[in-house]
Amino acid sequence: MPVSAQVAPPLLEVDGLHVHFVTSRGVVRAVEDISYKVGAGEVVAIVGESGCGKSVSALAVMRLVAQPAGRIVGGRILFEGRDLLTVSEDAMREVRGRDISMIFQEPMTSLNPVLPIGLQIMEPLVIHLGMDEKAARARAEELMGLVGIPDGTRRLDQYPHQFSGGMRQRVMIAIGLACNPKLIIADEPTTALDVTIQAQILHLMKDLSQRLGIAMVIITHNLGIVARYADRVNVMYAARMVEQGTAAEVFREPKHPYTIGLLRSVPRLDRPRGQMLETIEGLPPNLLDPPEGCRFHPRCALAIDACRADVPPLVAAAPDHLSACIRTSEVGRLARPAEAIRAEAATRASDASPGPLLEVRGLAKHFAAGRAAGSWRSDHAEIRAVQDVSFTVAAGETLGLVGESGCGKTTVGRVILRLEDATKGQILFEGADVTNARSGDLKALRRRVQVIFQDPYSSLNPRMTIGQILSEPLTVYGLARSRTAAGERVAEILTQVGLFPYMAQRYPHELSGGQRQRVGIARALAMQPRFIVCDEPVSALDVSIQAQIINLLEELQRSLGLAYLFIAHDLAVVRHISKRVAVMYLGRVMEMAGRDELYANPRHPYTQALLEAVPVPDPVAEGRRAHKVLAGEVPSPLNPPSGCVFRTRCPKATEDCKVVVPELREVDAGHHAACIHL
C-alpha cells in the first residue's frame, strides 16, 4: 500500500459495486463487482469500450442510474467514509453538485436549451450554498472567467444554442466547479469535440483540478487521454474490472491480455507505422448472457481451459498493479507482438499507373447560408465550405483528408461523389471531366466511385434485410441477371468483408456496430468500384473494432486494387492507412505531403498544432511533451478571416497574413504547404 493511502482514507471508495438493468429480455448485469479508490486531488481514469459499464459505474456514484430499469443491487460507495448508497434521497441530492459534480459527454444536449446559461450556472449556488441572486451572479461571472469564456458577463444571459460545442463544455465545467466540489466525474468529456478543442478542455480541467485540489474521475475510451492526464487507471471489460494500477505502470507493462490488445490495436503517432494493426478478434460479449469464467476468454489468444472455469480475481501482478488474469505471471512472456503480422509486409498494390485515377482542380463549394427562420429575403450570405482545393489520387492509393469538424473535408467527399454540385473547379475521373456529369454518365460514375459512410447505425435502412440492401444496387445497375445470381453475389461480398452469407437474412438492428460497418463496406463493394470515398468510416466504432475495419479496408485495397479518399479527424488512423495526407482547415488545404514526411516533418503551423494536440497512449512520452494548446476556436465559414484563414489562431501570424491568401506550394520535394512564412 502506498504511504498516502495509510495516512488518509481515500476520498471515494467504490467497493464491490453491482448494477443491474431489468429489461424485457432479461437482466443485464451492467456492472459486476467493481471496486476502485480515488484519493483527494487525484486524477483517476476508467477505461473501456462502449457497453463495458464504465459510465454506469460512474452514474451509480451519483445514484443517477437511469430509473426504473437500473438498480444498484450491491456494494458500497464510500465518499469521505460515508456510504452514499444508504443515505436518504435528499441527503444524496445535497451531495450532488456540491461535493461531487459530473460533466457529461454531449455538450450539445447536456444543457437545457430553453434556460439562459447564467441561470444554469447559478442554480447549484442558490440551491446548495443559499446564495442570493446577486451573489450567485457574481460567482457565475467569476466562473465564466475561470473556465476561459470571454465576455462572460454578457454571455450569462445567452442560451446554449448561442455557444459552440467547446464553449458549452466549458459552461458544463463552470457548473461543475460552482460549489467547489471535492470530486468531479467527467464522462467522456471531450469525445464529441475536435482535437484542438479537446486539448483545450482537458488542459483546463487538469489545470483547475491541480489548482483547486479537486479529484477527478475521467471516463474515456481514449487511451491517449489517460496517458496524458491520469494518475491511476482502471480498465473495464464486459462489466468487470480487469486491470488496475498507476498510469505509468499500466502503460509500461500492461498485465491483462485485454489491456495489451487494446494498446496494440490503436494506431499510434509515437511509433513507427506497422504494416497491419493487431486486433482483438471477435466482439465484446452480450451482457444478457456473458461467457462463463473470464469474460475475455473467447477473444483471448492466451486462453486455456482454466479460463472458462472460474471468474479470475484481481490479484497483484506488481506493486500497486492488479490484474484479473490467471496467467498474469506468464503474460509478459507469452504476449509478444505478433512478429508474423509485422513481417508480412506484403507489397502494397502501388502499381505505377500512367495518370491519376482522380484529379480535383481548384474545387470550391459554397452554400447559401440557411435563412434565419422568419427572415424573408435571403441575405445572400454564403458559407464557403470548400475553397480552391486541388489534389490527385492514383489507382490503388489512399489519400487521407484530415481536419477538424467544419473544415470542409466531408463536403469535398460529397462533391466528388456528385451528391453536391461543385461551385467552381473540376473533377476528373479516369481522365474524363465528371464535374457536371448527368444521367447516363453519372450512373456510370456511380459504378466506379462508391462511398462508405460514418454512421453504421443510420446509414442502413432499418426495414430492409442486409440481403435486400446489398442486392438493390446489383438490380438497379443490372449487375445481376436473376435473383439467384444476386443472392450468390451477396453471399460472395459478405464473405469478402468477413461476414457470413446467412447474415443476408438479418436486419441491421440485429448486427453490432462493427458488423454494420462491414455491411456498409460490402454495399460499396457490390458495385465493384475502383475508388471509394470513406467518410469517417471508423470514428463511430470502438478501438478494437476500429482496428478490424481498418485492416479489412487495407486488405481489400491490396486484393482489389482500390483507391481510397479516407476522410477522418483522427490523425493516427489517417497516418496508418494513407499513403499521402492532406490537412484541411476552414475550407482550404493547409498542407499536403507523403504520410511519413508529413508526420515526421510537419511544416504548416496548423499541422504542427494538430499533431501536438493528439495525446499518445504513453505517459512517459506524454510527460516529455510540451503541451502547447492551440488557443481559440475555428472561425465561422460564413465570415472567414481575410488572408490566411488560420491566422486568427496561428502563433506565427503577422500583419502580412491578413492580406495574402497563401498558396499551396511545394516547400520540399513532394511536400506542399500553404503558409507565407515557409
Partner 1 sequence: MLRYTVHRILLMIPTLLGVAVLIFFLLRIMPGDIVELKLLGEGASVTPDVLAAERARLGLDKTLIWQFVDWMGGLFTGDLGVSMWTERPVAHEIGIRLELSLQVAIMATILATAIALPLGTLAALFRDTWIDHTIRVFAIAGLAVPSFWLGMVLILGLLLVFNWIPPLTFTPLYEDPWANLSQLIWPAIAVGYRYSAVATRMTRSSLLEVLKEDYIRTARAKGVYERLVVARHAMRNALLPVITVIGLEFAFLIGGLVVTEQVFNLNGIGKLFVQAVAHGDYTLVQALVMLVASFFIIINFVVDMLYAWLDPRIRYG
Contacts with partner 1 by CB under 8 A lie at 62, 64, 68, 93-98, 101-102, 104, 106, 109-116, 123-124, 127-128, 159, 161-162, 172, 175, 372-376
Count CB-CB contacts under 10 A for residue 550: 22
CB of 65 to partner 1, least distance (A): 10
Burial 511-544 (b: 16+ CB within 10 A, else e): bbbbbbbbbbbbbbbbbebbbbbbbbbbebbbbb
Q: Smaller CB distance to partner 1: residue 116 or 635?
A: 116
CB of residue 112 to partner 1, shortest distance in Å:
4
How near is the Cβ of 368 to partner 1 at its closest, in Å? 16
Written as one letter, the residue type at 126 is V
State which residue, 157 or 488, has the beta carbon closest to partner 1. Answer: 157
Rounded to a whole number of angstroms, the minimum distance from the CB of residue 109 to partner 1 is 4
Nearest approach, Cβ of residue 306 and partner 1 (Å) = 42
Burial class (CB in 10 A: 0-12, 13-18, 19+), 333: exposed
Instruction: Kindly state the smallest distance separating residue 140's Cβ from partner 1, in Å.
Output: 13
Q: Which is nearer to partner 1, 81 or 113 (CB)?
A: 113
- The amino acid that residue 342 corresponds to is R
Report how far residue 299's alpha carbon sits from residue 97's, in angstroms, rounded to the nearest whole number. Answer: 40
Nearer to partner 1 among residue 119 and residue 479 (C-beta):
119
The DSSP secondary structure of 295-315, one letter per residue, reads TTGGG-TT--HHHHHSPPPPE
Q: Given the complex with partner 1, which of 98 and 446 has the nearer CB atom?
A: 98
Kindly state the smallest distance separating residue 23's Cβ from partner 1, in Å. 14
Residue 670 C-beta: closest distance to partner 1, Å: 47
Q: Collect all residues with Cβ–Cβ distance below 8 Å to 319 and sequence separation of at least 6.
A: none
- How far is C-alpha 25 from the chain's CA centre? 30
CB of 231 vs partner 1, minimal distance in Å = 24
Question: Shortest gap between Cβ of 377 and partner 1 (angstroms)?
Answer: 10
Q: Which is nearer to partner 1, 91 or 660 (CB)?
A: 91
Tell me the β-bridge partners of 433: 428
Closest CB to partner 1 among residues 128, 576: 128
Nearer of residues 159 and 367 to partner 1, judged by Cβ: 159
- Beta strand 588-594 with 580-585: parallel, antiparallel or unpaired? antiparallel
Q: Which residue has the cell 456496430?
A: 513
Asked if 121 contacts 174 with a C-beta cutoff of 8 angstroms, the reply is yes
Give dist(CA 586, CA 196) in Å, integer: 14
Cα gap 302→314, rounded to integer Å? 17
Beta-strand runs (E) in 496-642: 531-535, 563-568, 580-585, 588-594
In this structure, the strands spanning 232-237 and 43-47 are: parallel
Query: Which lies closer to partner 1 via its Cβ, residue 96 or residue 256?
Result: 96
Phi/psi of residue 424, nearest 5 degrees? -145, 165
Alpha carbons 499 and 564: distance in angstroms, whole number:
22
Which alpha helices (DSSP H) does 337-438 contain, by range? 339-343, 409-416
Q: Which of 101, 435 has the CB closer to partner 1? A: 101
- 559 or 639, CB closer to partner 1? 639
In the complex, the smallest distance separating the C-beta of residue 186 from partner 1, rounded to whole angstroms, is: 12
Structure-derived torsion over alpha carbons of residues 132, 79, 13, 320, reported in degrees to the nearest 10: 70
Report residue 75: phi and psi, to 5°: 105, 180
Largest alpha-carbon pair distance within the chain? 78
CB of 124 or CB of 637, closer to partner 1: 124
Nearer CB in complex with partner 1: 375/482: 375
Closest distance between partner 1 and the C-beta of residue 533, in Å? 32
DSSP helix/strand/coil, 677: coil
Q: What is the closest distance, in whole angstroms, from the C-beta atom of residue 32 to partner 1 in the complex?
A: 23
Q: Are 223 and 570 in contact (CB under 8 A)?
A: no
